[in-house]
Amino acid sequence: MYGQAPAGSTDGQRSPGGTRVETSPGSPSAEASPDRRLLAALRGCGDRPAVAAAARSLSYAGEHAALWLAAGLTGAAADPARRSAWLRATAAVAGAHLTSMAVKRLVRRPRPPEHGGRAALVRTAGRHSFPSSHAASASAAAVAFGALLPPSGGRRLLPAAVAAAMCVSRVVVGVHYPTDVLAGALLGGLTARAGTAPREPGAGRPRTPISRNGRPV
């Protein structure tokens, strides 16, 4: 019979001779998953001051979807002819953010621990990690706003480029696993597609009753 693993250790492994070998959270076997390896690699990029500063700025700008909501309202004010479309796109971004927050409360995945003595570069509003709300709102904005921008000059790609950088920044600052970001991006993209889908002509309008002779009643 083998005793319980000491506190602070993870699942034990047996050597070929049958001896139980404990693995600590920082050991290579405990961090063998691709998710953790990619987290460690991107988190290490944050050791560079310029990268850390850029990642912090993007993370702060995306807090509570502030950057994207401001961009959507600016688009609605600057493009009166398509104001309703911009407002629908902005509502889709807000919906993606709120949906991700609800999923977090259900999944309750803890945020990544300190790795290699590196603490997170930013503070977070909550303790839960999956999915990334920054990624959800950023991806929703890339889909919804990108469809409203002119394709010339690469302006349609601008929201996607900023969104991608913001998604990566959340791993660099050490507050999300890559799978958190991937799930958030998928959630945001799907929410934006559903929220901005074209409506059928006349949808939502009350129908006028028609008599047998074809005249309105």
- Per-residue pLDDT of 18-55, as tens digits, reads 444 344 444 444 457 888 889 889 988 888 999 999 99
Q: What is the pLDDT of residue 44?
A: 87
3-state helix, strand, coil in the chain (%, to 5): 60, 5, 35
Maximum Cα interatomic distance, the chain, rounded to a whole number of Å: 93
CA 213 vs CA 40, 118, 189, 206, 216: distances in Å: 74, 78, 48, 20, 9
Q: What is the pLDDT of residue 120?
A: 83
Q: Where exactly are the structural domains of the chain?
A: 39-111+119-196
Q: State pLDDT tens for residues 163-201.
A: 999 999 999 998 999 999 999 999 999 999 988 876 655
Lowest mean pLDDT among 32-46, 81-95, 124-138, 167-181: 32-46
Whole-angstrom Cα distance, residue 94 to residue 102? 13
Q: What is the pLDDT of residue 200?
A: 52
Whole-angstrom Cα distance, residue 57 to residue 171? 13
Lowest mean pLDDT among 122-136, 151-165, 197-211: 197-211
Lowest mean pLDDT among 3-17, 73-87, 119-133, 163-177: 3-17
Is the predicted pLDDT of residue 75 greater than 90, yes or no? yes
Whole-angstrom Cα distance, residue 72 to residue 93? 9
Q: State pLDDT tens for residues 146-167.
A: 999 887 777 888 999 999 999 9
Q: How sure is the predictor about 115, in pLDDT bands with cuts at 50, 70 and 90?
A: low
